[in-house]
Structure 1
Amino acid sequence: MTKSLLLAATLLASTWQLQASEPLAYQFDGPYVFNDSSAKKATKHSAYWVCNAELKHNYASDKQLTRPDNCGQLPQPLLSDTVKQIMPDSYDGIKKIVTLSDVHGQYDVLITLLKNQNIIDANNNWAFGDGHMVITGDMFDRGDKINEVLWFVYQLDRQAKAAGGMLHLLMGNHEQMVLGGDLRYVHQRYDLASKLLNKSNDALYGEDTEIGQWLRSKHTLVKINDVLYMHGGISSEWLTRELTISQANQIFRDNIGRSKKELKQDELLNFLFYGNGPTWYRGYFKDSFREAELDKILAYFNVRHITVGHTSQTQVLGLFNNKLIAVDSSIKRGVQGELLLIENGELIRGLYNGARQPL
């Protein structure tokens, strides 16, 4: 048997096994959009879709992706270069902000929460006007609707800018893990796309892909009004290193996608990407952590609040007189979730059923 025939037979066998053992929905996936800037190509947006466990391919037309026939309800995004622009990481005078975290592929919970809180409309489009939305990381891993979440947030990013608002997607530790090739928590649904495209899961979000370029343009920390946002937290070690927000964001963008082994060989990168860095730190929730330490961190950044995800709670939670706000409300479990609203300085819990309560 020739090498090509052997490869085809292997793919067919893998597909049959997935058809026999996986839910029907897992036979549909994508789109995975690769950007080809070659002058010989009529278009630079090449899309791959998994439809009924078969690989299909087409191109974007005027940046609009069209789902192939018999391909379920996979996203059909309108591509946009504006969402890949590096935006400022500090803002003042923003009247309304909504924040959530750690979606981990739970698309249905995310949509229900945002609809019930009137952040999106009945058609899943941006309805928050000139407000700002902050997602403090961890869209990847664990759940089985990662691409649905990614393309939905990509769409909101474009729509928010068009409405005079902004969507701030911050990098969490699971974005770092997947882009760096640590695939321990990737859901089995995505094994099929990797097999059919002959690419590892991280390569499906590489620097030559639309989603990969979009993610690599994002910050890890952002300051809005008197609140500093990130995934894990700011440890006191940051203060001794005298880093600025912008310095850290640039370092993260320059190095995301490097392997854990590479990052740990550099002392500064080891700090930023692991342990006491802003995507992994959990020190705020230890009994030994004291408010006086938090006050020093707040003063360093000249903010009144720090908002984090990463450490799971049962609700949006305010600690130390709301100086610290935890917004990982366990959306990852796929049952319900909450979000934080700030309107004219007032801190509000947005509940899953649409109700709102003061924090």
Structure 2
Amino acid sequence: MQKATESAPQYEDPKHKTFRSADALGKRRIVAVGDLHGDLKSTLNVLRMAGVIDKEDKWAGGNNTILVQTGDLIDRGEDTVELLELFPRLIKEAYEVGGRVIQVLGNHEIMNLAGDLRYVSPNEPGFASAAKRALDFSRSGRFGRRLYNVPLVHQVGDTVFAHGGITPEWSAPNLHHINLQAADQLRRYAVGPNSYMRMETPPVLGIEGPAWYRGYAKDPEEIACRTLRQALNIMNVERMVVGHTLQNNGRVLSRCNNRFFVIDVGISQAYMGQQAALEILSGGIVRAIYPTGTETLSRGKGTWGAFKTKLSSIFKS
């Protein structure tokens, strides 16, 4: 089976008109951050801690860093607008120097696109009214027109990213068709607030879909890991990284022999304001980054990493 190292659509070009796949060539560093929930200050702090922005909040990852944000950028906190403006800027700045910034849809992005505002902060100053917010998240709105093109799932090298988790049902050797299906279903589903036209939630966007699923994080490990292995084998990848399921202890959760990581540690002050990011380095080294330092979670090459190294040595010999 041919290895699918990319899926699309992934990130905006500098003109914010098209989406392309982020490559995973060479010794690139992947940094992943979880749910940010409308807290600009905490977001900037965690991005500085991970070394992807500087003290002026500009891209500092250079050409060898891929930043992945695993959804739920918005809601609960009061800085939704600021965060929705921050990430397109970082996408552009990273792109211009050869780096990459990638977002995947969280369940809160999906809810806002559908006009479900149950978790909006009552003190949020960024929108004049609920009607204005709904307009901004519409397909032609200032935020909706970009969010409708954000992928539901994303793959970089031998790692897949989602907000909740990708079950075998939604797994494939190439994730492109799942993103296309999700985008099509989202456009049909998200018809605006209080609409009689709303269809039932499509499965790809539902409770067992990649943006909502919690089984890998909450099921008994024997059950979760058996299902996870099936999904990873179908996708031909080594590991999965998600947010969505809050880790109250503020630590990245590693399960299934370091093949599944949960990085929602409650970064937003709407929760606990705890800081953590995940770092994936060449050779399958995985580390958690905390204000107190780094913790190595996985040291060795995974099966795909080992295969690539062996293949490279064959071609060099």
Q: Do the two structures share a fold, i.e. TM-score over 0.5?
A: yes
Deviates more, 1:255-264 or 1:304-313: 255-264
**Counterpart position of 2:48:** 115
Say whether residues 1:128 and 2:58 are aligned partners.
no
Equivalent pair of 1:83/1:157 in contact (CA under 8 Å): no
Give secondary structure in 1 for the equivalent of 2:128: helix
User: Which residue, out of 141, 155, 162, partners 1:209?
Assistant: 141
How do 1:292-307 residues align onto structure 2 when only pairs under 5 Å count?
292-307=226-241
**Counterpart position of 2:264:** 328
**Counterpart position of 2:255:** 319
1:300: Cα distance to partner? 0.3
1:342: Cα distance to partner? 1.0
Q: Distance in 1 between matches of 2:117 and 2:272?
A: 21
User: Which residue, out of 139, 143, 161, partners 2:73?
Assistant: 139
Q: Distance in 2 between matches of 1:96 and 1:291?
A: 26
Which one-letter code corresponds to 1:337 in the other structure?
A: Q
Say whether residues 1:342 and 2:274 are aligned partners.
no
How do 1:1-359 residues align onto structure 2 when only pairs under 5 Å count?
82-88=15-21, 91-93=24-26, 95-130=28-63, 131-190=65-124, 193-195=127-129, 199-238=131-170, 244-257=174-187, 258-259=189-190, 265=200, 270-284=202-216, 285-287=218-220, 289-313=223-247, 314-332=250-268, 333-344=271-282, 345-353=284-292, 355-359=293-297
Two-structure CA RMSD over aligned residues (Å): 2.5
| Structure 1 residues 238 and 262: alpha-carbon distance in aligned structure 2, compared to 1, 3 A threshold | farther
1:286: Cα distance to partner? 1.3
Give secondary structure in 1 for the equivalent of 2:19: coil
Q: Deviations over 1:319-357 (max 9, x none)?
A: 11111011111113252220001121310111135x212
| Structure 1 residues 323 and 264: alpha-carbon distance in aligned structure 2, compared to 1, 3 A threshold | farther
Q: Distance in 2 between matches of 1:306 and 1:315?
A: 17
Q: Distance in 2 between matches of 1:184 and 1:162?
A: 37
1:235: Cα distance to partner? 1.9
Give secondary structure in 1 for the equivalent of 2:275: coil
**Counterpart position of 1:6:** none
| Structure 1 residues 187 and 336: alpha-carbon distance in aligned structure 2, compared to 1, 3 A threshold | same
1:236: Cα distance to partner? 3.2
What is the TM-score normalised by the length of structure 2?
Answer: 0.79
Q: Distance in 2 between matches of 1:217 and 1:194?
A: 25
Runs (5+) with no aligned partner, structure 1: 1-78
1:305: Cα distance to partner? 0.2
Larger C-alpha radius of gyration, 1 or 2? 1
Give secondary structure in 2 for the equivalent of 1:186: coil
Q: Distance in 2 between matches of 1:133 and 1:256?
A: 25
What is the TM-score normalised by the length of structure 1?
Answer: 0.70
Equivalent pair of 1:84/1:213 in contact (CA under 8 Å): no
Equivalent pair of 1:84/1:217 in contact (CA under 8 Å): no
Equivalent pair of 2:173/2:236 in contact (CA under 8 Å): no
Aligned residue pair count: 273
Runs (5+) with no aligned partner, structure 2: 1-11, 298-317
Quote the sequence identity (%): 28
The answer to which structure has the higher helix fraction is: 1
Equivalent pair of 2:136/2:142 in contact (CA under 8 Å): no
Q: Distance in 1 between matches of 2:232 and 2:157?
A: 13
| Structure 1 residues 158 and 276: alpha-carbon distance in aligned structure 2, compared to 1, 3 A threshold | same
Q: Deviations over 1:129-157 (max 9, x none)?
A: 12111101001111111111111111111
Equivalent pair of 1:98/1:342 in contact (CA under 8 Å): yes
Give secondary structure in 1 for the equivalent of 2:35: coil
**Counterpart position of 1:26:** none
Give secondary structure in 1 for the equivalent of 2:111: helix
Which one-letter code corresponds to 2:150 in the other structure?
A: K
Equivalent pair of 1:104/1:141 in contact (CA under 8 Å): yes
Equivalent pair of 1:89/1:245 in contact (CA under 8 Å): no
